[in-house]
Homo-oligomer: A and B are copies of this chain.
Amino acid sequence: MQFANWGEDSFLETIANLFLSPKGIVGIGDDAAVIPQGNGNSLLVTCDALVEGVHFLKEKIPPHDLGYKTIAVNVSDIAAMGGAPKYAFLTIAIPKTTATSFASEVMKGIKEGCETYGLSLLGGDTVGSMHDLFLNLTLIGTAKNGFIKYRNGAKDGDIVVVTNYLGDSGCGLKTILENFSLTSDIETLQKAHYRPTPSPAQGTWLASHHDVHAMMDISDGLDCDLKRLLKSSQKGASIEISSLPLSPPLLRFCKRNKYDPIPFALTGGEDYSLLFTVAPQGLNTLCEGFKKRFDSELYPIGHITQEEGISYYKDGEKLSLELTPFNHFNMSSPP
């Protein structure tokens, strides 16, 4: 069997079964590993890689944005656990034909990302590559024990909430791949794809609330990532399609080009919104506090159920959606 037919999650499961974590340490299976330090704090550690031809096209992405995005996608993982990101380690494998100016711009984007999020880049590895440009970032953060949120904490009746518009990045990628002429809306969508804006401040704030039970970030699309959260929590969810937060640029673009925005929102990938569940009685206070603290909305989109899997509804009516999941191993691009 070839890897293409196996899939990332199956391989991950194999790895997770092969490597069990020592007692007290949370290893494979969440957005970041959690290593208690014995002083009331834990280290959070995450790795995310960007590979040419799979996660980006070298001839499309501005190299500065590629560097910035390498930082941002990892910051998103630390934020999703409720941690503060601190120390970065970059491994970059560079084909020998790469222009040094391209590599320099990537590093400047990395630097901008580090400055934006207050990170120190402390090391890594610089190596050659035969064909593909490859970037891996390992990001170490810290969090107070007791204020770390996992994927496995969702409870029956919890409200499912996201912190940001969904689908902009996936739609932005489509306009990049299909060479759409730039408009102000398309620029906004492409920016969502190239320069995600995770917020560790929002992550730690949400994680500090006991009513928030489970949290992760959305990197592979709401449908895929919510399923991971549900599997981890051994729950299901009902999601109301008409509650999905869709940005005005996405809505205008889809209307103009006769696209359905929903597949972008569910499977577009790379939104880097936070996805969490909260006890229903805590929702209003949380929304008000969030609005006050961040001048930004929280978007409730459904609730946790006992039944496994996700049921989608539109205005209360159950839908039967056929979704193509975002899967790096198929090298498929979002819809």
Q: Could you tell me which A residues sit within 8 Å of B by CB distance?
A: 1-4, 6, 8, 11-12, 14-15, 18-19, 21-22, 25-28, 32-33, 35, 37-39, 43, 45-49, 51-55, 87, 89-91, 93-101, 103-104, 107-108, 111, 114, 120-132, 134, 136, 138, 140, 328-331
Interface centre among A89, A114, A329 (most CB of B within 10 A): A89
Residue of B nearest to A129 (CB): B51
| Inter-chain contact A328/B127, CB cutoff 8 Å | yes
| Inter-chain contact B129/A87, CB cutoff 8 Å | no
In angstroms, Cα B3 to Cα A96, docked, is 5
**List of B residues within 8 angstroms of A53 by Cβ:** 129-131
| Inter-chain contact B6/A100, CB cutoff 8 Å | yes
Residue of B nearest to A123 (CB): B33
| Inter-chain contact B2/A136, CB cutoff 8 Å | no
| Inter-chain contact A89/B33, CB cutoff 8 Å | yes
Closest 3 CB pairs of A and B: A4-B96, A53-B130, A131-B131
**List of B residues within 8 angstroms of A19 by Cβ:** 111, 114, 120-122
**List of B residues within 8 angstroms of A101 by Cβ:** 1
Residue from B8, B87, B114 within 8 A of A45 (CB atoms): B87
Residue from B18, B38, B51, B120 within 8 A of A22 (CB atoms): B120
Shortest CB-to-CB span from A316 to chain B, Å, is 39
**List of B residues within 8 angstroms of A38 by Cβ:** 39
In angstroms, Cα B28 to Cα A330, docked, is 36
Interface centre among A103, A132, A136, A140 (most CB of B within 10 A): A136
Given that A19-B111, A120-B25, A138-B89 are known contacts, is A128 also in contact with B6, CB under 8 Å in the complex?
no
Residue of B nearest to A37 (CB): B37
Residue from B33, B97, B331 within 8 A of A3 (CB atoms): B97
| Inter-chain contact A123/B45, CB cutoff 8 Å | yes
| Inter-chain contact B91/A3, CB cutoff 8 Å | no
| Inter-chain contact A93/B33, CB cutoff 8 Å | no
Residue of B nearest to A131 (CB): B131
Given that A45-B140, A49-B91, A49-B93 are known contacts, is A2 also in contact with B120, CB under 8 Å in the complex?
no
In angstroms, Cα B127 to Cα A328, docked, is 6
**List of B residues within 8 angstroms of A4 by Cβ:** 96-97
